[in-house]
């Protein structure tokens, strides 16, 4: 019998009796040093993710086979995303059970970053599609281990009344990482090998401040649930009947991320083939810079604002609708000016969404003992769109009319996220 199944025990009482600080509902505000470490880990992980996704894998694909660059990009990113679907909840669940004097989350942040760094360095020398796929899958494996752990650290350590603000800063870190990847893409001028090295360096250096300010209480050995394979595997299924708010929150995040990913997945090729930008990598940097600036501004404003008013859903609905609007702008104004406006609107919507939806998600987790696993299941809603979006993009471009269809479909899918969030009853 696990702790969560012990008669008369709730996650809250577990945390204050048997399991101590590791499982207790946090009530004390986290320190600026801890938040800084959290933000920097998000910077490094997202530079490692999106530098390759937005620029380097596309350039690498052109170098391997220019005629089939779209198919190669879709294959590599799709396989990597498939790995992340398994890795994120798996490592989240493993971190829940980790008994170490360094805490539950920190060992996985370190180990995951080391693996992803090594895989990025190996990726720089890949000369065949199969090797490129393998290396990117290893990057996803390691980076998702680190991301699962650092994400679970928020409900572990941050009280509810501070989560919007911390979520906004984490979103700022994610966006700064995306921007950093775009900066690397512009600086290396097509030399994707150096780009992979820069992403690797950013990742491994980013985790150091967090490890020195980790505030990661150890899980007592007697608080770890008894392990059975059946129980472990069954734990990844979270019943939408028993936990409907969790299910609706997951679906909302999935839809919004499908819309967002579908908008940006072929951005390099959109600038190259439709807008005819003379330097597509520089164009990606400019658009990412505008997007990132808007995300960071709206994230740090919307997150604390939602904390003050005690409401999450109105912010999520409005930001989802804004993201959908960006897709329509890209669809019907396929010129450089339209791309600039679309990037700004997308950033405004996604910044507010990232900050507030993250806070909302931490409030619908079923149990304290499974925070890492449950956040990992939530993170599947971030990873699965990386599998779905390339398929939507490829089919739209090859068979359904091109970028107008792609961006319009992205807008329609994202808008559904605004519709379904009203189904969540336990959070205002």
DSSP secondary structure string, 329-393? HHHH--SHHHHHHHHHHHHHHHHHHHHHHHHHHHTS-S-STTHHHHHHHHHHHHHHHHHHHHHHH
Q: For residues 388 and 382, give the distance between their C-alpha atoms in angstroms, rounded to a whole number.
A: 11
Task: Decide: 124 and 56 in contact? Cβ < 8 Å.
Answer: no
Q: Provide the 8-state DSSP code for 400.
A: S
pLDDT higher than threshold 90 for residue 206? yes
Taking phi over 0 as left and psi of -120 to 50 as alpha, with beta for the rest, 211 belongs to alpha
CA dihedral 329, 335, 341, 344 (to 10 degrees): 100
DSSP letter for each residue of 96-136: HT---TT-SSHHHHHHHHHHHHHHHHHHTT--SHHHHHHHH
**Confidence label for 130 from pLDDT (cuts 50, 70 and 90):** very high
**pLDDT above 90: residue 262:** no
Closest by CA to 45, choosing from 181, 203, 261, is 203
pLDDT band at 283; cut points 50, 70, 90: confident
Q: What is the mean pLDDT of residues 135-148?
A: 95
| Domains of the chain, earliest start first | 29-219+227-423 (1.20.1250.20)
Is pLDDT above 50 for 15?
no
Rg (CA), the chain: 21
- pLDDT surpassing 50 at residue 5: no
Integer CA distances (angstroms), 287 to 27, 224, 262, 349, in order: 40, 47, 16, 15
For residue 257, give the 3-state DSSP assignment. helix
> Residue 14: which pLDDT band, with cuts at 50, 70 and 90?
very low
Note the pLDDT of residue 9.
Answer: 33
pTM of the model: 0.78
Q: How confident is the model at residue 3 (pLDDT cuts 50, 70, 90)?
A: very low
Task: List, for residues 350-379, the tens digit of each pLDDT value.
Answer: 888 888 887 888 788 777 677 788 888 887
pLDDT of residue 12: 37
pLDDT at residue 4, rounded to an integer: 36
Residue 291 has a pLDDT of 85
Q: How confident is the model at residue 239 (pLDDT cuts 50, 70, 90)?
A: confident
Is residue 19 pLDDT above 60, yes or no? no
**Largest Cα span, the chain:** 67
Q: What is the mean pLDDT of residues 234-245?
A: 81
The predicted pLDDT at position 109 comes to 96
Q: Cα separation of 263 and 261, whole Å?
A: 5
Confidence of residue 45 (pLDDT cuts 50, 70, 90): very high
User: What is the residue-averaged pLDDT of the chain?
Assistant: 84
Instruction: Return d(Cα 23, Cα 370) in angstroms, integer.
Output: 9
Note the pLDDT of residue 7. 31
Q: How confident is the model at residue 59 (pLDDT cuts 50, 70, 90)?
A: confident
pLDDT at 55: 83
Q: DSSP string spanning 145-194?
A: HHHHHHHHHHHHHS-GGGHHHHHHHHHHHHHHHHHHHHHHHHHTTT-HHH
Euclidean distance between CA atoms 408 and 332, whole angstroms: 9
**Average pLDDT for residues 10-32, to the nearest whole number?**
62
285-318 pLDDT, tens per residue?
888 789 888 988 998 888 888 888 878 888 888 8
The Cα 169–Cα 303 span in angstroms is 8
The residue with greater pLDDT, 377 or 204, is 204
Closest CA to 120 of 103, 104, 137: 137
Q: Which pLDDT band holds residue 25 (cuts at 50, 70, 90)?
A: confident
Q: Average pLDDT of 261-272?
A: 81
Q: What is the pLDDT of residue 18?
A: 39
Nearest-angstrom CA–CA distance, 83 and 140: 7
| Number of neighbouring beta carbons within 10 Å of residue 424 | 21
pLDDT band at 279 (very low <50, low <70, confident <90, very high): confident
């Amino acid at each position: 019998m696990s702790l969560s199944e012990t008669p008369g025990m709730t996650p809250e009482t577990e945390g204050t009796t048997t399991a101590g600080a590791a499982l207790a509902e946090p009530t004390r505000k986290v320190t600026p040093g801890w938040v800084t470490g959290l933000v920097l880990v998000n910077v490094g992980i997202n530079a490692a993710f999106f530098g390759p996704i937005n620029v380097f894998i596309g350039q690498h694909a052109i170098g391997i086979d220019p005629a089939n660059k779209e198919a190669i990009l879709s294959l590599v990113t799709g396989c990597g995303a498939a790995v992340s679907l398994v890795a994120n909840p798996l490592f989240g669940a493993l971190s829940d059970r980790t008994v170490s004097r360094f805490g539950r989350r920190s060992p996985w942040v370190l180990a995951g970053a080391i693996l992803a760094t090594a895989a990025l360095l190996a990726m720089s020398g890949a000369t065949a599609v199969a090797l490129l796929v393998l290396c990117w899958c290893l990057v996803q494996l390691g980076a998702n281990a680190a991301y699962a752990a650092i994400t679970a650290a928020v409900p572990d350590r941050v009280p509810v009344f501070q989560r919007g603000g911390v979520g906004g800063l984490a979103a700022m870190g994610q966006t700064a990482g995306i921007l950093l990847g775009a900066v690397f893409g512009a600086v290396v001028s097509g030399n994707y090998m150096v780009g992979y090295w820069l992403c690797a360096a950013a990742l491994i250096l980013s985790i150091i401040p967090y490890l020195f300010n980790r505030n990661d209480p150890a899980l007592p050995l007697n608080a770890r649930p008894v392990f059975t394979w059946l129980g472990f595997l069954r734990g990844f299924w979270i019943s939408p009947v028993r936990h409907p708010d969790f299910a609706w929150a997951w679906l909302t995040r999935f839809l919004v991320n499908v819309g967002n990913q579908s908008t940006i997945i072929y951005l390099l090729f959109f600038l190259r083939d439709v807008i005819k930008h003379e330097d597509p990598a520089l164009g990606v940097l400019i658009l990412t810079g505008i997007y990132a600036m808007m995300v960071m501004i709206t994230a740090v404003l919307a997150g604390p604002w939602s904390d003050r008013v005690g409401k999450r859903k109105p912010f999520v609905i409005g930001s989802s609708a804004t993201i959908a609007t960006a897709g329509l702008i890209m669809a019907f104004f396929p010129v450089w000016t339209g791309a600039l406006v679309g990037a700004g609107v997308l950033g405004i919507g996604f910044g507010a969404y990232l900050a507030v939806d993250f806070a909302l998600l931490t409030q619908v987790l079923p149990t304290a003992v499974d925070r890492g696993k449950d956040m990992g299941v939530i993170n599947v809603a971030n990873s699965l769109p990386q599998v779905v979006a390339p398929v939507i993009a490829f089919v739209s471009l090859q068979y359904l009319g091109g970028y107008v269809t792609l961006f319009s479909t992205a807008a329609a899918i994202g808008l559904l996220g605004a519709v379904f969030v009203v189904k969540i009853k336990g959070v205002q």
